[in-house]
Amino acid sequence: DREAPSAVLHFAARAGVRPSLRDPKLYEATNGRGTLNILELCREFKMSRLIYTSSSSVYGERFNMPLRETDPIMNPISPYGAAKYASEKMCQVYQSLTGMDLNVIRPFTVYGPRQRPDMAIFKFTRMIDRGLSIPLFGDGSTARDYTFISDFVDGVEKALHFAGGFRIFNLGGSHSTRLIDLVHTISKALDKKPEIEFQPTQPGDVPLTLADISRARDELGYEPKISVPEGIQRFVDWYRSSAQVGRA
């Protein structure tokens, strides 16, 4: 006998915008069909609640900020973003078919201790710490809305208990930080000077992200608490403690 869980939190995915440009079929198979498998199981077990973790990458290249959940999705610019958006629409279909409460989360650049080592903050920290030059794509003016992991988890927990049929929520820090400023924030936390090597802009990169979190704030009570300087310092402290035992 199989017992149905009370809720499903679907975080599983193949991550990365740039890698998706090299192997789009893999991303469609993993993130698209993988999500469909989860939805089918939810229908089989008559689940009443599902959280699907999408991505801010669904918005693509946009110039009107901040980004709102009600904005039309016109031009995802990576297979990763396109697959995530397709999965959102499939979630909407299954919510309509089953009547379950299904909340979609669009995270904005989540970071913090134990994050993926291929992400910019981890790579920049390691390279500055080791005295290596940082390859910076573009002129450093691209900016991201960074979300500390504890704020993201708080938002997910609140969304888990929100019953509203089908709903999409941005979870971000509600503040954009330029890439060059991020590098200097990391170097300050490490107390080491960075060496920067500027390189051409990469396909799939967007110039700016900034989340409008009004809906999450009003309906979930979501409120990010950790600023980028504080979050970077927490990450660097973890990185140093992990490096001492060979984990970073």
Instruction: Please identify which of the residues 80, 146, 222, 239 carries the catalytic annotation.
Output: 80
Packed helices 228-243 and 120-129: angle between N→C axes, nearest 10 degrees? 60
**Is the sign of the CA dihedral 172, 174, 180, 186 positive or negative?**
negative
Sequence letter at residue 91: C
Give the C-alpha separation, 195 to 26, whole Å: 35
The H or E element containing residue 198 is strand 195-199
Give the C-alpha separation, 30 to 191, whole Å: 41
DSSP string, 19-40: HHHH-HHHHIIIIIIHHHHHHH
Active site residue 80: yes
Residue 148 tokens read as: 């500390």
CB 16 within 8 A of CB 78: no
Catalytic residue positions, numbered: 80
